[in-house]
Structure 1
């Protein structure tokens, strides 16, 4: 289980995401839903992802963050900023291609930025599967290395999702 969490704040169209501790896929459902809401907003002027207190981040979280960066570029023509002071986290983010969609800065600012913890969504197998699949598909779009690394996982997850949908459709008949 995740020993970390995501906090969020927004002020005048600037969105701040603070990832604290060991942030894993379980924390992504709320974040992914929030990103969908932000994508629909018209007054978005910036986004900051603060990883200065992140001790671990998994590929699903990186994929959801990649989705944020891509959507901000595509929909709002904004380049988001990522703050990181941990060389391992920075290297991981760069190796996954997040440097293409974020300006990654080594920054150690005020840890008391006024964010609030995102409320954990009720995690079902189906919504977790959907979030993990979408996050890894997004990472695959960033570079060939990610494409090769995550293609087997994405194929397996897609197969599982298709099977779940088939079972659900049969039950609804």
Structure 2
């Protein structure tokens, strides 16, 4: 039995809170992608971003790329660096190996916050839309640093080829 993935979101006092739970894979990333894209498009009132990964047990590179996109959004809006909470050793190892510590303030402890949050549903993406999401996520990873570029540029090149 696979662990259920869940995305929870709240905007409280101009702070956007994301709580990501379970196995975070590209196959269930459409809700997160849609939420991040909506934040990019509209002036959401977010003055600070907090991501809680304490309930995440696994994360693939697409999801890490979505987090990188979120950090880039904060930078473009001249917001403070987002804060990311994570106590899961394997998730933390992935975050640090893909240099998310350059884009987030990573706190390796529980948040201690318990807000009323809204569950975000997955979106019905076409195969083309899902491919575009995966491409954008990996381009955001590449933008973080050169070691990510050498690791993910072949993936980006293949995706671009397949999507054209």
Question: Given the two structures, how large is their TM-score scaled by the length of structure 2?
Answer: 0.91
Measured against aligned partners, the alpha-carbon deviations of 1:53-79 in whole angstroms (never above 9, x if no partner) come to 000000000001001011101223321
CA contact (8 A) 2:52 2:111 kept: no
2:87 alignment partner, one of 82, 85, 88: 85
Distance 2:94 2:112 in 1: 24
Measured against aligned partners, the alpha-carbon deviations of 1:87-127 in whole angstroms (never above 9, x if no partner) come to 22112111111111110001213474322220110132111
Distance 2:45 2:113 in 1: 26
Number of residue pairs aligned between Structure 1 and Structure 2: 162
Structure 1 residue 2 displacement after superposition: 7.5
Q: 1:103 aligns to what? A: 105
CA contact (8 A) 2:32 2:122 kept: no
Q: 1:11 aligns to what? A: 12
Query: Gapped runs of 5+ residues in structure 2?
Result: none
1:56 is paired with a residue whose SS is: strand
Structure 1 residue 37 displacement after superposition: 2.1
Query: Gapped runs of 5+ residues in structure 1?
Result: 163-173
Are residues 1:68 and 2:81 paired? no
Distance 1:109 1:69 in 2: 19
1:76 is paired with a residue whose SS is: coil
CA contact (8 A) 2:85 2:111 kept: no
Structure 1 residue 35 displacement after superposition: 1.5
CA contact (8 A) 1:2 1:27 kept: no
- Spell out the pairing of 1:132-171 with structure 2 (5 A cutoff): 132-162=134-164
Structure 1 residue 30 displacement after superposition: 2.0
Are residues 1:94 and 2:96 paired? yes
Larger Rg: 1 or 2?
A: 1
Distance 2:70 2:113 in 1: 22
Distance 1:33 1:9 in 2: 15
Shift in alpha-carbon separation, 1:123–1:3, aligned structure 2, 3 A: farther
- Counting helix residues as a fraction of each chain, which structure ranks higher? 1
CA contact (8 A) 1:63 1:138 kept: yes
